[in-house]
Structure 1
Amino acid sequence: MSGLKGGLWSRSVFWLVLVTVCLMVLLPILYFLTISFASNYEAYQFPAKILPTLSYRAGIRYNADSDNYTLLLAKGADYEAVKTTSDRMDMSMYFKSQLNVILSESSVADLFSKARQTPGMMETRLRKNFFRNYVIFFILADGTMAALMNSLEAAGWTILISLILGGSTGYILARFRFRGRESFSATLLVVRMFPAVSLSLPLVIYIMKMNLYDTPLSLAIVYAVPNIALTAWITSSIFKGISVELEEAAMIFGATRLRMLMTITFPLAFPAIVASSLYAFLAAWNDSITALIMTNENPTLALLVYRTVGSSTIPNLPAAGAVVLLIPSLVFTFIIKDYIKQLWGGAKI
């Protein structure tokens, strides 16, 4: 009986911890997505809503004494007055700018006419333009496609440089013994501690001398420096786990070292190589500060988002821009997720 109770208690604690961790991860993401679809009115409402709304439960009241109309929005069981005017254009602009509701002046006039004929408050439902924040973002962010291509090119060069130099370094650390190997390995870790922005300041002088300033390749050079060290550490641990006898057997049967690497070692280390490419991609994709220093006329998507909505005082537009920036990295992560699972020993998620 005590064993049964102990097992039940362990399972209860396990599921409690699991649910708590999931909520800690998922609730901020869900709230962030909700804010990206929120109107200006909803962005500052308290308590904030977890799920986005598709419409408003509203009411319009005709004020006979002042000959104007009051818009009321449902807030719990009550209604809150948010706008009073007699001008159809003014009300239409309020719908559009504050509520993300697109209504023409003639539609507003019909609402006013019904409210005049209805004693008390006329209830109605206002449907939101759900993706209006994203439309506004793309209108404000001129040159989005060019910035997207710059980000993809910079990320591609970063992955290529990191894998070639970092993978080669990792193989050398795993297979060869030489004086100072441990010190060299520790030095790589120290280089990884430096943020890319601290490296961009001294490197920008040499990049300008090479006529590479304001190009995706210049960004890739800066991003690759710390990622070479990280790639070397990840791949060296994997190369150490690959049997040396497999490589020696391939060379005994006549394979050159290059062919042996391409047919034996690299395929077995492919999950680690893909994992390293993920770190390199994310480092290049999400950065905006280094791009601010290293570019002028050819910004990356992250820098374009920062310039477009970075000074906004309303959180919904920055959230929409951040979601746009997040989508490509999620796509890339899901493409390579099976290789990451192989690196974790084939764990099922």
Structure 2
Amino acid sequence: METGARPVAPKRLDWLHDETARWVGEGLLTEHTAERIKAQYVASHTSSLTRVISYLGGAFLGVGLVWLVATNLDALSPLVRFAGIVVIWLAFTAAAEVPTLPGPLRGAFRGIAALGFGGVIFQAAQSLQVPAYEPSLVGLWGLGALLYAYASAGVAPLVVGIVTTMIWFDWQVVASSESTFAGVFAVLVGGVIATATAALHDRGREAFARVWRLAGGVLVLGGLFVAAIPQVGDRELAWSPTLVVALVIAALLAAVAVGRTRGWSRWEVLASALIVPIGLALVAWDPQVSDLGSVSGEAWLSAFVSIAVYVVVAGAVAIDGSVRDHTLLVVLATGALVVFTTMQSFAVFAPIMSGATLFLMLGVLLLATGFVFDRARRGVAANLSEALS
């Protein structure tokens, strides 16, 4: 390793070597200059490994602290419990901002602080005799974690904030409306909010954009997954104030994102908005699958349409992840497609064919789907970003 060489991810270094070779070929650089540029960097996995170890350590430490407090609740007075969790929260919040702290440890400490804030909320509620199973407590936790994430520019608190906020949102909608239909609607609307927010973060907060985009993929694919289940539950939409407010926020964010972005980001937002009515139509379509021993033609059609919709949406998410070099998004889409196809096949097709035949058909379907998506991914990754920019 050259003295003072900067460690970078191997993929990034490969890209640099390819680009410098192209620049030399075009006469933009000399061979000597290209070699001097490449000598400034060295491939290293150490940073990624350190980050993974630090985040795992932070996760285990956070869970261990919660577990330790939970197993000793009876031995501590409410005031001592509250003071203890507040001290832990403040200690990790302060420690995360120490200037000399390595980056991975700073991220882990911020994540623990965001988790600790949830402990403060629930412990304060218990001291005030507020019921523990109250969605508003999770909402306060999520709001605090999101504010902390943006104040500290921390990705770990952002993950905590997004997860807890979406749990609160769907819980609140279902609890207030008592409607499965409304719950699916809420998840899909959350997907629009997350995708639009990701698009607005593409310039200036790229790390936040990746997290919001992954959240959007999870919500869109999760909402469609539930929407396509034949026995999803009630099929009448019951409105609630929370859902109406969220729908207005989603519409405003989508409009702003479409107006302020262009190219691939704009199409992402429009696609996420289009999926909402499609998902609601799947929920409203009741194929009347009451007897698993006799599957009607409508149930067959419903299953085929649901699978086709899910294949298209999962493929779009996978292509999006490929174009943006977002590996988690590709893994999410692939895994969701496999699980959904298997579930849907057992739910509708299994009663009329043997298990061996079912798995053979699934294997052929998934291999064909994988081949088509790989061909599409290669073409889109090579041409689409430039064409839409």
On whether the aligned pair clears a TM of 0.5, the verdict is no
Q: Going by fraction, where is strand more abundant, 1 or 2?
A: 1
TM-score category by the smaller chain? under 0.3
Q: Going by fraction, where is helix more abundant, 1 or 2?
A: 2
TM-score normalised according to structure 1 size: 0.24
Higher relative contact order structure (alpha carbons within 8 Å, sequence separation ≥ 6): 1
User: Greater CA radius of gyration, 1 or 2?
Assistant: 1
